[in-house]
Structure 1
């Protein structure tokens, strides 16, 4: 029996398809020849036995149902021929049926839809996905090509390249998440069979966002300049922020620099208001550089900033300010009228008309004289001028106020106190007031020749109306007959004997004393004292006897005066004088008195000196206190002159009486 082989086209079936098989050959004849055929079990094939005219048996292979090459490409059958002899003999033949492919299978994908994530900004050419369609056919029927369907947009086809041979989808152009977040495409897989079959799938490409976009700031409104007194919570600017990224990459935060009088207030989604949070002061900060900074929450975060300048407009909120709260200006007396004394400039930190200042002297009268008659101020620059010449001996100081007023609306002003001090010049020479010179500058004095060493001969007193510094007076001998006999104290002007007189000394002595002040240059005055020493025979009493007599006389007189004063105080009744009585400070003097016919204000040195001089002339010297101070009024009257009645109280009379007692008691002593 021969091996039989045949090829069938896959899926071919048209009723009971028959395939003739070669007959089995059996050399026997008759009943011993081939009688029957048997086919191995098969779901697809069967045999039909045919008898020829000559009685020969042969078999046809009958296809019972359609074949599917993709399920079974080869069928192996065994055909057995059986003869009719006894015992029967058989012969077998192997039938190999190879099923030929037909394009009956379309290409297919693993999934109907693919979802792929791709990072934006992926490099061009990077692989997105490799599609793999399969075709159960073989040969050209299983060769597949890939292509976009008509439902794939041109933009998608421009962004991604599809390899038709292997189904790879690669990045064709730079992907930007902010342009398009999702791409959808339909890919067709077609085989190359005579009648092409195809399959398709949908591919969705999701673009993954990267933090590649900086957040953006947009100034929607901005108010500048604003007045410095703008109320708090006033809206200065409206700002919006945005970020094209997504997720945390698109979440943004807006900030401004710290330590600024502003704050951000969110008004709506991604909209912020810049408001005033603290009072503004242009004089401290005239303008603000406000920087808005927006930062996203990506990793790493990206930021952007925008700067704007806020200018402040001035308002008149500052008063003029002087550099000092009190000005002390020293002016030398004998100044020229119109001379500049000082510049009293004030400062106003405001601007423009709020800064323009005008200066005034606040009117004040002194001794019926207005300040504007004495001083003048330039209203534009504050220069202060003197309008007259000042004399220290008449006017020593002035106190007034200067006002500085700005030109704002309403105007603001401030004032400052000005103290003008007139500075003394040495423009007055000393005046010798003691010893008194009735005629010319020569004074004649008499002293006993028995005068002891150190006795006070005379006291020169000079007064200077200049100030303390310029009125300090020193005394010197300009001329002296015998320098070994007399000494002069340069500070108090006392002339004393340096030794006792001898019979050899001249009776006449000439002393010229100069009184010089302390000014620059110094001024001076002189006095000539002629001393006449009395002969020794005139000295009736010895020193001891003279002291005793004077002491007894003084005590007796003191007792007498005390009794008289007591009687007067008890018996005196107030009487109204027809004529006005002399004042307590009046002076009764004679032409030959050693003091002027006027009241003198004395110090202790002058008082003491006057005692010595006046007692020798038989005068009473009275020193009474000035009513408003601790200084004294010195008056001289003859001893024989009585006091006039006055309306003074008993206390005043007693005071005068006691002073007289003190005078006699003191000056009757050696």
Structure 2
């Protein structure tokens, strides 16, 4: 009678390692088992661990095959320790173990994955060219060349974006160097896509969105829109002398091409012809009277307003205002440039009027004197004759008739007598001369 005094024997006849991942029912090993005992003592049972993705199949004779049960994933587990257990059915049962290590080889089944689906990079304007502004990074779970990644810029979706002239990317590490000096006032932001591709076969790739935000620098000074500072004739603001304190004279309007605090503007009165009469509200640029205006205050005032932004360092601009104090708005509007010429013209006109008036007065006085002299001369001649002079015939018709009917009627004759030495004139009506009927 046989005694179970021999343990089973296991002989490896074929072994494949590593085996490729993603390959189901792939033969891993082929081995033979035997037992020198007979009967139940020579019958053999083979098994492996239950938690492994492998199958152990018996074939014709005493041969067994180890193969994969399902696709393996190298990225989850790159090797397995497999123990082949061979047990006979004798009493007591004898067992033999065979240990093997199965390696899993990589297949390019993973595309590169970016650490972020999108990147936001910040760069201050007026940067130096070739400045490093940020990096993108992608990893590949594969191994070897299947895990080596190269980077590139993908064509922009906006065909008008000159991406190739704005940024570049280093293929081996994903570093991004701005190619030109960026200007916030021209381009505040732009975006593009970056691709990552591995060196496997076939190659796998992925992409990520990159957004570049240009940060504003305080490189623009405030620009005064009103009053205009273009060197033309200055605009003069009229203010009645009776204006109450706080009277709105005008408003300085300015803009700044920068943004945020670099564009926050404030105003202050820098110079004034007479300090204390006018003030400037800091946050709205309103120019108002501070107190009551007095008669002794100058009529013309020049104010210089400083407009300053809140950048670091701050930038500023100045605005010159001209104010004219008037007694009322009925006075004509005069520009400051025209005040002096108009005054000069008024003075010249006054001189001309005085000269003309003197000339006319002189001529009038001379005419009166001549008239008096002529009258005296006539009286002297009449006194020397001592008689009246009566004209013959009708009164001359070219004299004006006081009756308003045109020429004097020729139906009357008049006698004009100048009595010599009497000092009086006598005007006598004569009898009418009637025509024959």
1:431: Cα distance to partner?
Answer: 1.0
Over 3 Å counting, the alpha-carbon distance change for 1:217 and 1:540 in structure 2 is: same
Give the match for residue 182 of structure 2. Answer: 390
SS in 1 for 2:59: strand
What's the CA shift string for 1:394-430, capped at 9, x where partnerless? 1222222222222222222222222222221111111
Which secondary structure does the structure 1 equivalent of 2:141 belong to?
coil
Return the TM-score normalized by structure 2. 0.67
In the TM superposition, what is the alpha-carbon distance from 1:257 to its structure 2 partner?
Answer: 2.8
Cα separation, 2, equivalents of 1:307 and 1:518: 77
Q: Could you say which residue in structure 2 is the equivalent of 1:490?
A: 282
Distance in 1, Cα, partners of 2:51 & 2:277: 91
Gaps of 5+ in 1: 1-205, 542-591, 593-670
> Which residue number in structure 2 is paired with residue 462 of structure 1?
254
* CA deviation map 1:250-295 (0-9, x unaligned): 5554332333221222324554322211211222222222222344
Q: Deviations over 1:557-578 (max 9, x none)?
A: xxxxxxxxxxxxxxxxxxxxxx
Look up the match of 2:139: 347
The offset of 1:244, in angstroms, is 4.8
In the other structure, the counterpart of 2:13 is 220
CA distance in 2 between partners of 1:389 and 1:277 (Å): 60
Larger Rg: 1
SS across alignment from 1:372: helix
In structure 2, what is the equivalent of residue 635 of structure 1?
none
**What residue in structure 1 maps to residue 204 of structure 2?**
412
User: What is the total number of aligned residue pairs between the two structures?
Assistant: 332
Distance 1:256-1:485 versus aligned 2 partners, 3 A rule = farther
Choose between structure 1 and 2 for higher RCO, CA contacts under 8 A separated by at least 6 residues: 2
Q: 1:208 to 1:345 in 2, by over 3 A?
A: closer
CA distance in 2, matches of 1:344, 1:490: 46
Distance 1:451 1:241, change over 3 A: farther
Tell me the C-alpha RMSD between the 2 structures: 3.1
Q: 1:407 to 1:438 in 2, by over 3 A?
A: closer
2:64 matched residue in structure 1:
272
Q: In structure 1, what is the equivalent of residue 118 of structure 2?
A: 326
Counterpart of 2:259 in 1: which secondary structure?
A: coil
Cα deviation for residue 322 of structure 1 reads 1.4
Aligned to 1:199: none
* Residue of structure 2 in register with 1:357 after alignment: 149
State the TM-score, normalized to the length of structure 1: 0.45
- Cα displacement (A) at 1:296: 5.0
Change (3 A) 1:529 1:279: same
Alignment match, 1:451: 243
CA distance in 2, matches of 1:490, 1:242: 103
Q: 1:284 aligns with which of 76, 82, 86?
A: 76
- Helix, strand or coil for the counterpart of 1:470? helix
**Unmatched runs of 5 consecutive residues or more in structure 2:** 336-437
Quote how far apart the aligned CAs of 1:490 are: 2.1
User: Is residue 473 from structure 1 mapped to residue 265 from structure 2 by the alignment?
Assistant: yes
Residues 501-534 of structure 1: per-residue CA shift (max 9 Å, x gap): 3446554544332222121111111223233321
Asked if the contact 1:441/1:527 (under 8 Å) is kept, the reply is no
The separation in 2 between residues aligned to 1:317 and 1:508, in whole angstroms, is 86
Q: Which residue of 2 aligns with 1:233?
A: 25
Go from structure 1 to structure 2 and tell me whether the alpha carbon gap of 1:485 and 1:310 turns closer, same or farther (over 3 Å shift). Answer: same
